[in-house]
A and B are shown apart, each in its own frame.
Chain A
Amino acid sequence: MSTRWYPIYQRGNPQLRIFLPNFWMKLVRPFPQQQPNIVHFQCSMEMTKSDIRNYLEKIYNIPIIDVRSRIITGKFKKDIGKGYVTKEDDIKYAFVTLPKNMKFEFPNIFEKKKGDLEDNVKSLEETKKTFKQYLERNKDRSDIPSWFSI
């Protein structure tokens, strides 16, 4: 099942063995807006609908009503510099339906706190000040690199 390599052989027992499947699921923010009992995942390409159901039911104890999955073509992009067209990998999406009385809200991972902006402004000011000090200190030796100092 696993394509991961065993760790390098070491003499003696017990041996390290890895039996992890290649299965993974990544929670993604749905677009467009979905019903509150529908959750979107990206998952590994090998997973079937039954795998997805088992993964969520057996590992995370989530009651699952229905699973729909589809493979979405990766984006075509132009290589910067070379100019030829390249393609990103395809992604398998799983649309999981929970019981209708359950609600899932996508977590706000990068939550902005109240004082965040002021802190950022403060640290920017600090950096500007130190840079000015540095310029002031080295104004009569402009052709010498910054590391060349006592």
Chain B
Amino acid sequence: MLALRGQRILSKPKLLALRKYAQVALPEENEYTDTPVYPDIQDASLQARKLRERESVYANIRNLNTVEEKQIGLNMPRYYGWPCVQFKEDHIMYNAMPLVQYYTRTYFKTTDKLPEHYNQFSEIASSIVNEIKSLIEDCIVIENEGLKRNPLTDESKEGLQQKEDSLSKNIVRQINRIIINNIADKVPHILSSQVDYDPKHEAFWFMGGTDVPAKVVNWRKQFAWLKDRLHEPIDRPIQYTGSPILTIRNHLPLKPFIPYNEAENPEFKVEKFTYVPESVGYGVTFRHGTNIPGFWPGDLDEFGLLSYHKRGHILKRNEHFGTLDNLEALHCQAMKASFGWLLAQANYQGFTTYNDITYPLTTQTVITNGHLISFYAYQLNTITMNRDKIENNPKHNICFGTKPFLLYEKLENGKVMGLNEDVLKMLVQFYLNAPEEREHELKPYLGKEEQVIADIEDDNKRCWLESRYKHLMSNTPRHNLLPEVYHWEKIYKIQHKTRFFEAKRRPFELGINPFKRRLDDHLPSYIPKVLRPYPRSKKKFETTYYPKV
């Protein structure tokens, strides 16, 4: 009776809303198939569910249309930034080679000459060297002896580094000018290339397959349910920062040195390095992950050809490290710098640390102080090293490197003695290596219409994304800093619960972990009443356009 009465009271729309489990009869009569089709059975274990969650994030980032949105997407989980391992170009610790090789997944090959690929430019290079020889000699003499500078430096290690870096910067700019002026009418790609002075190079990626830091293990120890999962692998965010003296870039990519399928050759396998990076001396700071190859997305010349780097940091190193480790430090610098620059370029093509590149990218790196000069040729084959991919990723990157050569013997009576023409030839060969049009698609993961946010037609969305992206990439500190835990609170409230009777108001008492705050976890900017659309609008806050990741 009661139920009947109830039914009569409810109106028709409400009834419709209540019938959640009701199904409309299928219009098709053929609802049965000959063989039963079942949905896939999914693994219901915790690890499998977490993996599916992560994979959906990877897919969401891949499906985003523009470069900038992908970059914001990488940073979405952290409001105060990722705890990034600081991979600086000019800060190389003792015995860092195994770590750098593993973290950049690079097979390093020492050679005395450039890879075979460069032999085709040998003849032209020789003739060019003959033409520019005297000019290079002049520039070396003038920069070393002809100019009087007042460097504001002392004789300390830092002072020596600054002095050498400033000298090498001047020499490199001159040498680049001389070579470019000479070959601009001989090879077509130089005229269409751009030269950047002191660009900013930054790259961000996730590294799996390393030991879990002690801090994380200790944190997990306090929870009973994490007892068996103390050493469950985590991703370490890595941030490379560097600043070359000069780079040259073009709208076409360089040819690969070795075929792409060679990248899976087990010969190029890199030894595992699982020790925590802190044990080698690489520290951690909180910052947003940034990928910047020296220009902003939308620039047409987006493939690097050549970059010059300083080597003054070698002077600053501890003298106990020895010459052999100093040589390795140069190799490390080259691997870091080449990988970092190429990774940032790959990010501008729509790939991220979660979605691997589909074709190889190459670059040429020169490390010099104006007297010593070493050459590196780098081929990027893979960029996914996160914990889900590291174990079964067969691809490796390859770096060919030489030892430092002397560009000239010495300076005497205002003259260069013994200019090494072979070395100069190698440098010219780097310039002659022409980029080439690729036959495959370069940006498979970017949208067809929208590839950068400048392509977005909606004014509000475009402007909002632009300012958000630039602000994120600038890594300026947040206006509201992290909530601080005072030392007395740590002792008397967290470690020992001696003040349990007090009202719980602080974030750590309310179970809030500020480091886990998401990027979009904030109030959007307020629209003042006078600026709201006429006649009446209840919309108090502006729309945000964070990518859904």
Contact = CB atoms under 8 A, between A and B. Distances in A.
Contacts of A65: 94, 318, 320-321
Contacts, number: 43
B495 interface: yes
Contact of A33 (B275, B318, B495): B275
B95 A32 contact: no
Interface string A27-67: 00001111101100000000000000000000000001110
A78 B214 CA distance: 24
A69 interface: no
What band does the interface of chain A fall in when counting residues whose beta carbon is under 8 Å from B? 10 to 19
A143 B211 CA distance: 62
A38 B279 CA distance: 8
Contacts of A66: 94, 318, 320-321
Interface of B: 94-95, 211-214, 217, 274-276, 279-281, 318, 320-321, 325, 491-492, 495-496, 498
A32 B320 contact: no
A85 B214 contact: no
Contacts of B213: 32
Contacts of A38: 279
Nearest to B278: A32
A85 B498 contact: yes
B491 A85 contact: yes
Given A31-B214, A32-B217, A68 B496 contact: no
A97 B94 contact: yes
A148 interface: no
Contacts of A110: none
Contacts of B492: 85
Contact of B496 (A32, A33, A64, A76): A76
A97 B495 CA distance: 33
Nearest to A95: B279
A37 B95 CA distance: 10
A35 B98 CA distance: 11
Contacts of A31: 214
A11 interface: no
Contacts of B211: 32-33
25 contacts: A32-B212, A32-B217, A32-B275, A32-B279, A33-B275, A34-B275, A35-B95, A37-B95, A38-B279, A64-B320, A65-B94, A65-B318, A65-B320, A65-B321, A66-B94, A66-B318, A66-B320, A76-B491, A76-B495, A76-B496, A78-B496, A85-B496, A85-B498, A97-B94, A100-B95
Contacts of B495: 76
Query: Lowest 5 A-B CB distances belong to which pairs?
Result: A100-B95, A32-B214, A34-B279, A65-B320, A76-B491
